[in-house]
Amino acid sequence: MKLIFAIIDNDDNAAVTSALTRENFSVTKLSTTGGFLSTGNTTLLIGAEEARVEQAESIIQQYSKARTRKPTSDTSLGKGLADSGIPEEIPVGGATVFVLSIDKMSKY
């Protein structure tokens, strides 16, 4: 048994979650914040048999899109963006996926 942690952009949440659910994956969604921009993202917890991990990763990759976003002024810690060394647009999105082995999973 495996536990998949998938950290995705909030904009991709509905598409990824819907596609995983259609394929009978059990998905728990957590609202999280992180990264350089300190923007909201979604962390999905997915329990899967080892034989289905690649399928889940493929779905996550298919529906998690990379994009660029302009940083907010508070990202530069009070400096102007030109003075901070922060680019005007930063790549975001895609997915960060961790796959862990688990000893037991129970549903009650």
Residue 67: which pLDDT band, with cuts at 50, 70 and 90? confident
Number of domains in the chain: 1
Assigned domain for 83 exists: yes
Assigned domain for 94 exists: yes
Q: pLDDT, tens digit, for every residue of 34-56?
A: 765 566 789 999 999 999 999 99
Assigned domain for 108 exists: no
- Provide the domain limits for residue 59: 2-101
Handedness of CA 85, 76, 33, 101 (dihedral sign): positive
Assigned domain for 79 exists: yes
Q: Does the global pTM surpass 0.85?
A: no
Average confidence score pLDDT of the chain: 83
Separation between Cα atoms, residue 45 and residue 3, nearest integer Å: 7
Q: With beta carbons less than 8 A apart as the criterion, state whether 58 and 39 touch.
A: no
CATH classification of the domain holding 93: 3.30.70.120
Assigned domain for 107 exists: no
Assigned domain for 106 exists: no
The predicted pLDDT at position 105 comes to 82
Assigned domain for 15 exists: yes
